[in-house]
Amino acid sequence: MAEQVAVLAGGCFWCTEAVFQQLKGVSDVTSGYAGDSKETANYERVCRGDTNHAESIQITYDPSQITYGELLRVFFTTHDPTTKDAQGPDHGHQYRSAIFYANEDQEKVAEAYIKQLEDAKTFAPKKIVTTLEPLTQFYPAEKYHQDFMTLNPDHPYIQHWAVPKVAKVKKAFPDEVKSPGAGAAATTKP
């Protein structure tokens, strides 16, 4: 089966990139921007907060090893989908929780999964505010944003925000995490 692509936004792309890099079946994760035009797809402009871009990640994955639904399970486990335009210390529309669906199948799976979470009252009393947006284009972020946790494991932001999310995935989804040395995201000192 050919590789497929998923584009998700769950706050700072450094954290979401690190979370998904460690999953079996994921061959590549690229940090970038989705939701607006090529002209505004740069960090300086997106940080101003006057575009419709979200800091996003593009996940290239093998659906015979990990499904789109499994990616969504990890997504909803590793960020707060009930906070509008914010994750942790980051605030603004560019940090919204969003699923950028590439086709009708992805849209239906995402809608069904959100309904399942709401029906189960997973985040009650809060409601999920994750937006479902059609993917028009994904724009890779600047080179220094790519593989940020791997290249900057001691960065204070990474230590405080990304490392706990990576650890949460290892605990919640042990069978889905790559074995060390198999392309997993870098681990940091305890």
Active site residues: 12
| Secondary structure (3-state) at 103 | coil
Neighbours of 21 (CB within 10 A): 22
Alpha-carbon distance of 109 to 66, in angstroms, equals 14
Q: What is the side-by-side strand order in the sheet with 131-134?
A: 131-134, 97-101, 4-10, 54-61, 26-34, 138-140
* Phi, psi at 145, each rounded to 5°: -90, -15
